[in-house]
Chains A and B, each alone.
Chain A
Amino acid sequence: MKNRYPIIRTLIILWMSVVIVGAFLMDIPRMSILEHTARNLYFHVPMWFTMMAGMTVSVVYAVRNLLQPNLDFDGRSAAAARVAMLFGLLGLITGIIWAKVTWYQGTNVWWNFDPRQTFAAVCLLIYGAYFMLRRQLEDPEQRGRISAVYNVFAFTTMPFLLYVLPRQVQSLHPGADGNPAFSDITDPRMRLIFYPAVIGFIAIFWLLYNQRVRLQRVGRRVGQDR
């Protein structure tokens, strides 16, 4: 496993480099308002996919930790949540910028409490509390158990906040009523980059997650408990 890591890492870096170049060079349909910002599809949307994937990894290890208490499971759960949170924050920020030049073009508005954005922000706040909770608990085993329970709660809110609720209300964001998100109307040329971009960003998540897990292991061996 260990000696295969550099090969996998190189493949991920090459893959992502090709995706970035393709995202800029591939021809896309020019739509009014969107223009070249449609290329944000390759970067902004995978942020949320990656966050969901990362939080899934996190909750799996949280549940495993509850079933069979283990500091390594807890560490993995926390590391995955941390890196997933980074992608969520990047998704929110890139969304704000994208909205500024499309939905709010010509106004001075950056944030107008669009339901989709608001629910996404609430989701990040719920996960923010997870890290606050972890900091307050001194005993590693207690920290592992309590934060795992909270993790399960936070994870169950995510599909509702990111998927169900935004589709129940009117929103400027694609994916609301009468405004399909990524669907069969999306130009097939864009799928050619979009799907590899999702895979690539999840792979980058894995690289960062892996680093944190390794650091924790070394830390535990020298007697550092967080």
Chain B
Amino acid sequence: MRHEIPLIWHPVPQDATADSQAVSDAQTAYDSVWADTSMPVQQSTGLEAQLLKEDKLYAVLAVVLIIWLGIVFFLLRTDRRIDRLERRVDTQNSDS
């Protein structure tokens, strides 16, 4: 059976009901809005299931790897630019 996900399945903050304010102090105000929300119950599969393992640690790994690849991309691009500059200065100096 396919789980029906409504367009907005979480209560928007203004709709937070009075009983959500009675939630224990251990939960933050943010939690009180979201605590009684029902999550889609379908089993995570594939990539999502992998990312959720180990307290969602692998999701952090994915984020860090993407940041790292971005930095590497910049590093290589800067190197290429310096290469080009060096070549241009070389040819200019040999011309004059």
Q: Which residues of A contact B (CB under 8 A)?
A: 9, 13, 16-17, 20-21, 24-25, 36, 207-208, 211, 214-215, 217-218, 221-222
Contacts and interface: CB of A to CB of B under 8 A. Distances in A.
Q: Which of B55, B58, B79 has the most CB of A within 10 A?
A: B79
Contacts of A222: 89
A193 to B, nearest CB: 13
B65 A20 contact: yes
A147 to B, nearest CB: 24
B57 interface: yes
Interface string B53-96: 00101101100110010001001101100100110010001000
A207 B82 CA distance: 13
Given A21-B61, A36-B55, A222-B89, A215 B68 contact: no
Given A211-B78, A218-B85, A221-B93, A13 B72 contact: yes
Contacts of A208: 75
A214 B86 CA distance: 8
Given A221-B89, A222-B89, A24 B72 contact: no
11 contacts: A17-B65, A20-B64, A24-B57, A24-B61, A211-B75, A211-B78, A211-B79, A211-B82, A214-B82, A214-B86, A218-B85
A37 B86 CA distance: 44
A207 B64 CA distance: 20
Nearest to B71: A204
Given A211-B79, A214-B82, A214-B86, A21 B65 contact: yes
B10 to A, nearest CB: 26
A218 B64 contact: no
B78 A17 contact: no
A9 B71 CA distance: 13
Contacts of A36: 55, 57
A16 B68 contact: yes
A221 B91 CA distance: 12
A25 B61 contact: yes
B63 to A, nearest CB: 10
A13 B70 CA distance: 12
Nearest to B55: A36
A215 B82 contact: yes
